[in-house]
Structure 1
Amino acid sequence: MTPQQYAIAETIGLNLFFIGIFIFIGMAIQDVLKKGEVPKFGRVFVWFVLFLGCAGFVFKGIVQVLWESNGLS
């Protein structure tokens, strides 16, 4: 494999790792919310904040790809 292929494999692996971490965080939060009998408003707020974190991660990835394709990095 060439160094460029290693870099691509590393990037894909790292992104899959982060997706897995977000899934496990979501499962942990869901478990805590169920066991803590959190009211509906609290659950909506917690999931909204979690969504914003995931959306920020996705947005960062999109910006990074756009910058690298334009030669800015």
Structure 2
Amino acid sequence: MFAKYYEQIESIMLDLALVCLFVLMIFAVHDVLKKNDVPLIGKVVAYGVLGLGAMGFVAKGIIQLIWQSNGVSG
């Protein structure tokens, strides 16, 4: 049974690992910004870049789901 769902389990674990990494990056960026007393525009830029990176992974996942539902393998 495990071998049957190996790819699905692997995909889910990869997605969870990426979410954990983004959460850790948010904590690290927040800590650095807080300790260095960064102005608001710097915080907006730093969190914006981190958010755009996360949205890129979400978009990749959505595109992958759409392609797989249409029978495109990749």
Q: With structure 1 as the length reference, what TM-score do the two structures score?
A: 0.93
Shift of residue 36, structure 1, vs aligned partner = 1.0
Aligned to 1:50: 50
Range with bigger deviation, 31-40 or 4-13 = 4-13
Runs of 4+ in 1 over 4 A off after TM superposition: none
Higher helix share: 1
Where does structure 2 lack aligned partners over 5 or more consecutive residues?
none
TM-score computed with the length of structure 2 as normaliser: 0.92
Unaligned segments of structure 1, at least 5 residues: none
Matches for 1:51-66 after TM superposition, within 5 Å = 51-66=51-66
User: How large is the Cα RMSD of the aligned pairs?
Assistant: 1.0
Distance 2:19 2:64 in 1: 17
> How far apart are residue 3 of structure 1 and its match?
3.3
Distance 1:9 1:66, change over 3 A: same
Using the aligned pairs only, state the percent identity.
45
Deviation, structure 1 residue 2: 5.0
